[in-house]
Structure 1
Amino acid sequence: MGDWEVFGFSALVVSLIVAGVKRNSIANFIQDFKDVSSLAKALIGIKGAERKNKTVITVLSDGVSHYPDRPFLLYQDEKYTYRDAESESNRIARWVKTNSDLSQDETVAVLMKNEPSFIWMWLGFAKLGVGTSLLNYNLKGESLMHCMRISNARYLVMSRAFIDIAKELLPELQQLGIKVWVLGSVSNGTKLPDGMVAMDTGHVTGNPLPVDHLAPITHSTIASLIFTSGTTGLPKAVKVPHKTPIKAHYAWSLCGGLKPTDVLYVSLPLYHSSGLLNGVLSCLSAGCTVALAPKFSASRFWDDIRKHKATAFLYIGELCRYLLAQPEKPNDGQYPSPLRIAYGNGLGADIWERFQKRFKIEKVVEWYTATEASGGFINTDGKVGSVGRYSWLAEKLAGNCVVVECDFATAQPIRGSDGKCKPVPRGETGLMLFKLDNFNKFLGYRGPSHQTQNKLVRDVKKTGDLFFNSGDLMMIDVDGYVYFKDRLGDTFRWKGENVSTIEVSNIMNRLPSIMECNVYGVEVPGCEGRAGMAAIVLQDGHNLDFKHLYDHATNHLPDYACPKFIRVMLEMDITTTFKHKKKQLVSQGFNIETISDDLYVVDKAKGAYVQISPNIMESIQQGSFKL
């Protein structure tokens, strides 16, 4: 899609309007036209930003020029203006220029928690044209070193909280020629471990940088490496150029946008794209205020919203479920400023309306994309469970995505006799592919080239075209609403049928006794495919009625999708962006000798789930226990 000439009232569009009205109801077509028009405006804004070569640094400069004293960052009891952001990032850039030989297009690794210095660091390096490799501070040992090696960084910048971790890795870091900078001054006679240098910017001036210090960056300059969550293997490093956070800002505009008077509460980690791109940097583009939390806390969340007078917040994954599980309070839904928008992805359809009603959120905006994806969707009208719309009119005008049949084992499309991919009809689930062209690009991962190549699909609709493989199962209904169904790595087969882990989780989560549920498939000797297991965490003070649990599952799910095993856990193992980890759970299977959690198996004769004893486990392994 391009500028207005693409969407202008040409003969093509007029003919499409006539055809659309004949094909759809008037109400549907009016909504289609509104959706396409708002998307066109956003795309024009993005194209205009590219023509002006807008970067995050030019956005900051504009903010400092027009509203220097407007609050930009609220952090606990601290407040920083747009002028402060400029000064603090200048100090970082000056110190780096004086104390290193870093040059443009290099990358430094950053190991920091959510704190103001993280933002000043990001902006300071960006001014020098140096990219920041944003490390997940929860990683340790080999996983952390893997990210360091992929980064190709010669420097690691970290806060003092990670000195002990760095000490353990120092021999390997030095072997790779990586120098360690520790942010902050050394005082009271304390001494940093040998091999670490204090990055003390306290006495560095925050005055504007000399022109020869500023790098000639463009909207295509790589600003960061952001790592995938690593739920299915080691994290991959996604290349993020300056235009990506600019596009994130325009995505907000599709749902009304952030206003200069808004305060956006961000409790997600800044090393992740949601917290940084949709949060801090989108606020920078909008000229509004970000209220940053050190980390997500379900018990402190709403108090922080009130303290900072937030009007919007970000969510992801199970965060909303954790908030809903908190005991009800008299001031639930009471705020000093109206709570306009909850913006994020992964809100379960089973709790959507309860969550929105209890906490009096004016608008929930669910979206779908990935850090590296070339496309995505955004739900602008609050349709419960949907991630947005892909209308008939958008399909005819743009054709920038397609849902196709796929092989669930290989996560690759199934091709027809003509060699092209086979689209699925609306209302059916398939693999989502996004078209790649000069506007919608996939820059790939830093590291082994096969990781990038594995995400590309050629000759999808016609010879020579190129698409991005999302790896996700999606469904577009007859009205154009798009629904995320599952990740291909999570979906499994049992009795010759494909089982959606998310569909099963949503059903199980309807039981009041279950706080959260993680569904996956485990191998059973002598059986093809994998049998479903539901790992669950109970609500405080609740117990499971295993007869009722069996009845609930069998009444709402086909037999092949009903969990065959139940694992009751005290706490769910999740990533720092609230995605359920499955790899270790899958590998542990249903072995009661190595699992300390209580394990249960379906007993169809009793019409209930029963606890697995040594005798039952042996009969399952021998194939004499009927699943």
Structure 2
Amino acid sequence: MFWLSMILGCLVITPLVLNVFLPYFWHDVLYFKDLMLILCKFASRRRRKPLFLVVDRFLEQALKHPDKPFIVFENKTYSYKDADRESNKIANALQWHSYLKQGATAALYMGNEPAFIFTWLALAKLGCAVALLNKNVRSRSLLHCFNCSGANVLIASSELKGAVEEIQNSLKEGGVSVFIMSRDCHTLGMHSLADKVEEASDAPIPQSARSSITFNSPAVYIYTSGTTGLPKAAVINQTRILAAMAVLASNGVTEGDVIYVNLPLYHTAGFVVGFLGSIETGSTIILRRKFSASRFWDECREYNVTVIQYIGEVLRYLCNTPKRDNDKEHKVRLAIGNGVRAEVWREFLNRFGQIKVREFYASTESNIGFVNYTGKIGAVGRVNFLHRKLFPYTLIKYDTERDEPVRDSKGLCIEVPKGETGLLVSRITDIAPFTGYARNQQHTEKKKLRDVFQKGDLYFNSGDLLMIDHDNFIYFQDRVGDTFRWKGENVATTEVSDVLTLSDFVKEANVYGVKVPGHEGRIGMAAVTIREGEQFDGTKMFSHVTRYLPLYALPRFIRIQDSVEVTATFKQMKMKLVEAGFNPALIPDPLFFLDEKEKSYIPMTREIYSSITSGHIKL
């Protein structure tokens, strides 16, 4: 009886002790279980013959439930069988009318629409890599993005035909085949595709059409600003997207869920998490062209949405909409994404109900990621022994003034203790490779950090400053280098600077991001010098930047200076400019504000500043 009493006593007291001293113990156990199941499934798929790719998982789902809704878009529903047939027709049309062969690359220049998904599936069936071009890029940036992918075919939506025409001569010189997803196209050198698809067979594409593809073959090119220069094409190989499909499933999403996808499909979040994640789980996608805060919850109710995606700004926009009595009347149970601030997170839960928020940390080209599987508000993840063994990472001391890691007397990096901010670096291994950027060895090398803890070791430099607290939660702090984030997009300051200096009257431009009260990220600002004998023209500048830059990259404030301050090594100094912000009361230099109604940069006044900081002027 004594031993039985002891055993029963231990069974009763152990959970209590764990809750007091190890409050996240069961969260960690469940996470370990899920992680091991994912790894086992991934390893099993890697052993399958013939090679098992993402498109094969889609074909499994189409065979398993052909009539189940796969995509709902603007009141039209496409089943898994419909998607399979449409992608077959596109693939057959491209085989007949283009020179695409397995192993080739095609560029896809579309916004959120079913044709994007059907075309990607078609190209995957043909064994082609796909460059996902940002629909907002134009002119020089568009041509650069296309060229660095090595594509020889460009497929664009009809609404982007004009943007393609701007670079048509260059494409023609490169022997590029251009297809517009429309029934007719009268522009010389371009071909319509929709009419050819309608006439094509929907016969399945045999597996032999992609038989030469390996796990190391590029699957997609997703563009990122990185730290400097024009957008770079991160190479995502077949292994990586096969592994990435598990994001939704690892967070409890099943085939019974309905996923609301309004983030761009040409970005990692929309493509990998929303689209590929739904292929893995067999879920239904409610696809929208773009995010609309005013229609968001009504559509979630209309379509019985259970899972939503976000970037930090999305949840803030939702919280800023007028309150309604039915704010908590919906079926959404899970929100998955990154970049939400702690105060927005709390407000979101208080207003819209106890939705499970799964914040994660990752980047397009990175070889490391974290998931906040406990729901701890403000954290981007939780660190643990197993994760660190599989994907070795650490936080190292970083000198933000010199913009480089701090090294000791031996030339090695210094790990920061818990509670202090450091640069996240992750060891490059066979399990956690870094494939780099397409046709950009220079910037690929810049993301590699050598001699971190011993001579000859090699780590991926995330460019992000994070902090791990004493409870092993990890928090995002800031970004280093020349990139800031606005409206969910990375903005490379050198690209914006290059555009500014192309104008007639700007001599030099120092671009940086500044904080705006109530907004996530940083908004673009530029300190410029004017050419001798010229003067600043706000209207001409507005016309110039809106022609060459996407909306999120436009510098909203311009500061006129006599000279651009540089370091001894001729690097532009930004810290003081960032700290000064855009307050005209604190800045002695002429200051201008981008006014979209006036279509000009107008003088920045204290009244405008007050309206921005109070939220009356929306940015």
CA distance in 2, matches of 1:102, 1:158: 16
2:342 maps to which residue? 349
Alignment of 1:130-279 (within 5 A): 130-186=128-184, 191-199=185-193, 200-210=196-206, 212-229=208-225, 232-256=228-252, 258-279=253-274
Question: Is the alpha carbon distance of 1:210 and 1:366 closer, same or farther for their aligned partners in structure 2, counting shifts above 3 Å?
Answer: closer
Question: Is the alpha carbon distance of 1:561 and 1:31 closer, same or farther for their aligned partners in structure 2, counting shifts above 3 Å?
Answer: farther
Question: Is the alpha carbon distance of 1:517 and 1:127 closer, same or farther for their aligned partners in structure 2, counting shifts above 3 Å?
Answer: closer
Check conservation: 1:523, 1:589, Cα contact below 8 A. Answer: no
Partner residue of 1:311 out of 290, 306, 312: 306
Deviation at 1:361, TM superposition (A): 4.7
Deviation at 1:115, TM superposition (A): 0.6
1:321 maps to which residue? 316
1:242-297 Cα shifts (integer Å, max 9, x gaps):
333332232334432x1110010000111111101000111001111111101111
1:518-547 Cα shifts (integer Å, max 9, x gaps):
36898799xxxxxxxxxxxxxxxxxxxxxx
Deviation at 1:488, TM superposition (A): 0.6
Check conservation: 1:184, 1:201, Cα contact below 8 A. Answer: no
Structure 1: which amino acid aligns with 2:178? V
Question: Is the alpha carbon distance of 1:491 and 1:157 closer, same or farther for their aligned partners in structure 2, counting shifts above 3 Å?
Answer: closer
Structure 2: which amino acid aligns with 1:320? L
Partner residue of 1:84 out of 82, 103, 110: 82
Check conservation: 1:259, 1:286, Cα contact below 8 A. Answer: yes
Deviation at 1:211, TM superposition (A): 5.1
State the number of aligned residues.
Answer: 509
CA distance in 2, matches of 1:62, 1:517: 40
Structure 2: which amino acid aligns with 1:387? V
CA distance in 1, matches of 2:522, 2:424: 23
Check conservation: 2:372, 2:382, Cα contact below 8 A. Answer: yes
* 1:467 to 2:466 alignment: no
Deviation at 1:209, TM superposition (A): 2.2
CA distance in 1, matches of 2:97, 2:603: 53
Check conservation: 2:327, 2:352, Cα contact below 8 A. Answer: yes
Deviation at 1:562, TM superposition (A): 10
Partner residue of 1:362 out of 355, 366, 375: 355
Question: Is the alpha carbon distance of 1:339 and 1:593 closer, same or farther for their aligned partners in structure 2, counting shifts above 3 Å?
Answer: closer
Question: Is the alpha carbon distance of 1:26 and 1:325 closer, same or farther for their aligned partners in structure 2, counting shifts above 3 Å?
Answer: closer
Alignment of 1:418-429 (within 5 A): 418-429=410-421
* 1:287 to 2:282 alignment: yes
CA distance in 1, matches of 2:284, 2:57: 14
Structure 1: which amino acid aligns with 2:256? T
Check conservation: 1:566, 1:600, Cα contact below 8 A. Answer: no
SS at match of 1:473: strand
CA distance in 2, matches of 1:259, 1:466: 38
Alignment of 1:452-463 (within 5 A): 452-463=444-455
Identify the range of structure 1 (118-127 vs 588-597) with the bigger mean alpha-carbon deviation: 588-597
Check conservation: 1:42, 1:254, Cα contact below 8 A. Answer: yes
Alignment of 1:60-139 (within 5 A): 60-139=58-137
Deviation at 1:323, TM superposition (A): 1.6
SS at match of 1:299: helix
Question: Is the alpha carbon distance of 1:105 and 1:361 closer, same or farther for their aligned partners in structure 2, counting shifts above 3 Å?
Answer: farther
Q: Percent of counterpart pairs with the same letter?
A: 35
SS at match of 1:439: coil
Question: Is the alpha carbon distance of 1:410 and 1:95 closer, same or farther for their aligned partners in structure 2, counting shifts above 3 Å?
Answer: farther
Question: Is the alpha carbon distance of 1:359 and 1:135 closer, same or farther for their aligned partners in structure 2, counting shifts above 3 Å?
Answer: same
Check conservation: 2:88, 2:122, Cα contact below 8 A. Answer: yes
Structure 1: which amino acid aligns with 2:189? G
Question: Is the alpha carbon distance of 1:165 and 1:231 closer, same or farther for their aligned partners in structure 2, counting shifts above 3 Å?
Answer: farther
Deviation at 1:491, TM superposition (A): 9.2
Structure 2: which amino acid aligns with 1:326? T
Check conservation: 2:260, 2:285, Cα contact below 8 A. Answer: yes
User: How high is the TM-score relative to the length of structure 1?
Assistant: 0.75
Partner residue of 2:44 out of 35, 39, 48: 48
Deviation at 1:373, TM superposition (A): 0.6
1:596 maps to which residue? 602
Identify the range of structure 1 (458-467 vs 169-178) with the bigger mean alpha-carbon deviation: 458-467
CA distance in 2, matches of 1:243, 1:372: 13
Check conservation: 1:339, 1:361, Cα contact below 8 A. Answer: no
1:579 maps to which residue? none
CA distance in 2, matches of 1:44, 1:455: 30
CA distance in 2, matches of 1:137, 1:409: 35
Question: Is the alpha carbon distance of 1:460 and 1:46 closer, same or farther for their aligned partners in structure 2, counting shifts above 3 Å?
Answer: farther
Check conservation: 1:341, 1:361, Cα contact below 8 A. Answer: no
CA distance in 1, matches of 2:240, 2:72: 24
SS at match of 2:154: strand
Flag structure 1 segments of 5+ consecutive residues without an equivalent: 1-20, 493-500, 526-559, 569-587, 602-607, 612-627
CA distance in 1, matches of 2:245, 2:160: 32
Check conservation: 2:398, 2:404, Cα contact below 8 A. Answer: yes
Check conservation: 2:247, 2:277, Cα contact below 8 A. Answer: no
CA distance in 1, matches of 2:452, 2:426: 10
Deviation at 1:330, TM superposition (A): 2.5
CA distance in 2, matches of 1:239, 1:485: 27
1:132-165 Cα shifts (integer Å, max 9, x gaps):
1111111111111111111222111111111222
1:10 maps to which residue? none
Deviation at 1:476, TM superposition (A): 0.6
* 1:379 to 2:366 alignment: no
Structure 1: which amino acid aligns with 2:447? K
Alignment of 1:4-15 (within 5 A): none
CA distance in 2, matches of 1:141, 1:251: 35
Flag structure 2 segments of 5+ consecutive residues without an equivalent: 1-16, 485-511, 530-575, 594-600, 613-619
CA distance in 2, matches of 1:441, 1:271: 22
Check conservation: 2:67, 2:79, Cα contact below 8 A. Answer: yes
Identify the range of structure 1 (271-280 vs 323-332) with the bigger mean alpha-carbon deviation: 323-332
Deviation at 1:37, TM superposition (A): 3.8
CA distance in 2, matches of 1:216, 1:356: 49
Question: Is the alpha carbon distance of 1:79 and 1:422 closer, same or farther for their aligned partners in structure 2, counting shifts above 3 Å?
Answer: same
CA distance in 2, matches of 1:422, 1:491: 24
1:495 maps to which residue? none
Structure 2: which amino acid aligns with 1:67? H
Instruction: Tell me which stretches of 4 or more aligned residues in structure 1 moved more than 6 Å.
Output: 519-525, 608-611
1:77-114 Cα shifts (integer Å, max 9, x gaps):
11111111111111111111111222222111111111
CA distance in 1, matches of 2:287, 2:388: 42
CA distance in 1, matches of 2:383, 2:588: 39
User: How high is the TM-score relative to the length of structure 2?
Assistant: 0.76
CA distance in 2, matches of 1:289, 1:243: 24
Question: Is the alpha carbon distance of 1:212 and 1:437 closer, same or farther for their aligned partners in structure 2, counting shifts above 3 Å?
Answer: closer
SS at match of 1:457: strand
Structure 2: which amino acid aligns with 1:204? A
CA distance in 1, matches of 2:610, 2:224: 37
Identify the range of structure 1 (475-484 vs 192-201) with the bigger mean alpha-carbon deviation: 192-201
CA distance in 2, matches of 1:472, 1:515: 19
Question: Is the alpha carbon distance of 1:519 and 1:201 closer, same or farther for their aligned partners in structure 2, counting shifts above 3 Å?
Answer: closer
Deviation at 1:411, TM superposition (A): 4.0
CA distance in 1, matches of 2:363, 2:182: 34
Check conservation: 2:248, 2:278, Cα contact below 8 A. Answer: no
Deviation at 1:341, TM superposition (A): 0.6
Deviation at 1:231, TM superposition (A): 7.6
Alignment of 1:452-601 (within 5 A): 452-489=444-481, 509=517, 514=518, 518=522, 564-567=580-583, 591-592=590-591, 596=602, 598-599=604-605
Question: Is the alpha carbon distance of 1:459 and 1:262 closer, same or farther for their aligned partners in structure 2, counting shifts above 3 Å?
Answer: same
